[in-house]
């Protein structure tokens, strides 16, 4: 079965939810966080299973990335949605790079 690539951020999130990525993950300086888990999950042990990038048709500020992430220490899978591209805060961009660089480009 072939999966069509989502055309919007909303479609990407819905697709990942249908695949069992039920948590909403946030990036922080200490790792991934969620409302469910108290302690952050390290970026080094998280795995990016799916990556979807979106570009605004005319505005680079509309760039976004949606990641389907597995966190084995928690036994959870979730979604990271973030701005992406030249307008992203440099510290946040480094966190995104650290997460995606280790995991490679899946999806």
User: For the segment 8-52, what is each residue's pLDDT rounded down to a tens digit?
Assistant: 999 999 999 999 999 999 998 888 988 877 788 888 889 999 999
- pTM score of the predicted model: 0.83
Nearest to 105, CA basis, from 64, 49, 56, 45: 49
Estimate to the nearest angstrom the gap between the alpha carbon of 62 and the chain centroid. Answer: 16
Write phi, then psi, for 94 (nearest 5 degrees): -65, -40
Domain spans of the chain, in order of start: 9-103
Count the neighbouring beta carbons within 10 Å of the beta carbon of residue 75: 7
Token pair listed for 51: 């990556």
* CA separation for the pair 102, 85 (Å, rounded): 19
Local confidence band at 107 (pLDDT 50, 70, 90 cut-offs)? very low
Phi/psi-derived region of residue 85, left when phi > 0, alpha when psi is between -120 and 50, beta in every other case:
left
Local confidence band at 58 (pLDDT 50, 70, 90 cut-offs)? low
pLDDT tens digits along 62-84: 789 999 999 988 899 999 999 88
* CA separation for the pair 39, 42 (Å, rounded): 9
Local confidence band at 89 (pLDDT 50, 70, 90 cut-offs)? confident
Q: What is the mean pLDDT of residues 78-91?
A: 87
């Amino acid at each position: 079965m072939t999966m069509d690539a989502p055309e919007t951020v909303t479609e990407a999130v819905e697709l990942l939810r249908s695949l069992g990525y039920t948590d909403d993950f946030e990036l922080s300086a200490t790792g991934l966080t969620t409302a469910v888990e108290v302690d952050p999950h390290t970026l080094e042990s998280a795995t990016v299973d799916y990556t979807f990038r979106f570009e605004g048709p005319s505005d680079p500020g509309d760039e976004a990335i949606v990641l389907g992430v597995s966190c084995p220490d928690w036994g959870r899978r979730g979604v990271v949605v973030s701005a992406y591209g030249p307008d992203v805060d440099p510290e946040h961009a480094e966190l995104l790079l650290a997460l995606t660089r280790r995991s490679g480009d899946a999806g």
